[in-house]
Structure 1
Amino acid sequence: MSVHDELTRIQRLLDDLSRSVSRLEQQAGSGGLEVRRVRTDAGHLRESVALLREAVASPEAPKRPDLVTISDAPYDLSLWTDSDDEGLGARDRRAP
């Protein structure tokens, strides 16, 4: 079977599960924590299958950003004359 066929089959099974949970809610009541958890888990499965269907529909891998080469040459020290040493304060003052 193809991936599309498998996803369609899973969707049908999830529809059956949803109908079964609805019948169970009618018989057991929808106020119990257990029934709400089953309903929530079935909803999560439905969302996961939808995400999987989207991923299969667009198989393009995320494009990796272009790499930027950083030179090993030292920076011009005049760029840093107006900045403080990180975490140490200004050069002409003492730390408290």
Structure 2
Amino acid sequence: MSLHDELTAIQRSLDALVRSVERLEDQVGAGLDIRRVRSDTDHLRESLTLLKESAAGDGPGPAPAAGRTALAMVSIPDAPYDSTLWAGAEDEGLGAHDRRAP
């Protein structure tokens, strides 16, 4: 089976799952549990859309939604931190050297 055929089969299965969840919601009502399942199916739809776009060579996918920022890699050096960074930290509770933990 080709990649396109696999993605089409997944789309059909996902559509069937969404219809099943909708029927189940009609039977049990719109409680928290069914909302979580519906939310999960929505996430699956979004993930499949992104997978299809990346498989088609359209790039990594859409830009992050408004209010969201892309995560960037931050390197942290292995060198020890300057000890003056911790000045005043002893007043944060259990970390004080002259006090004992409860």
Gaps of 5+ in 1: 62-96
Say whether the 8 Å CA contact 2:25–2:34 is kept in structure 1: yes
Question: Equivalent residues in 2 for 1:45-84 (5 A)?
Answer: 45-58=44-57
Question: TM-score under structure 2 normalisation?
Answer: 0.56
Structure 1 partner of 2:8: 8
Could you tell me how far 1:6 is from its partner in structure 2?
A: 0.4
Structure 2 partner of 1:40: 39
Could you tell me how far 1:59 is from its partner in structure 2?
A: 6.9
| Partners of 2:42 and 2:59 in 1: CA distance | 27
Say whether the 8 Å CA contact 2:53–2:59 is kept in structure 1: no
| Partners of 1:60 and 1:14 in 2: CA distance | 23
Gaps of 5+ in 2: 61-102
Q: Once the two structures are aligned, what percentage of the paired residues are identical?
A: 62
| Residues matched between the structures, number | 60
SS in 2 for 1:52: helix
Q: Structure 1 residues 60, 44: closer, same or farther in 2, change over 3 A?
A: closer
* Cα deviation 1:43-65 (Å, max 9, x = unaligned): 0000000000000000778xxxx
Q: Max radius of gyration: which structure?
A: 1
SS in 1 for 2:22: helix
| Partners of 1:19 and 1:59 in 2: CA distance | 29
Runs of 4 or more off by more than 3 Å in structure 1? none
RCO greater where, 1 or 2, for CA within 8 Å and sep 6 or more?
Answer: 1
Q: Structure 1 residues 35, 57: closer, same or farther in 2, change over 3 A?
A: same
Say whether the 8 Å CA contact 2:7–2:52 is kept in structure 1: yes
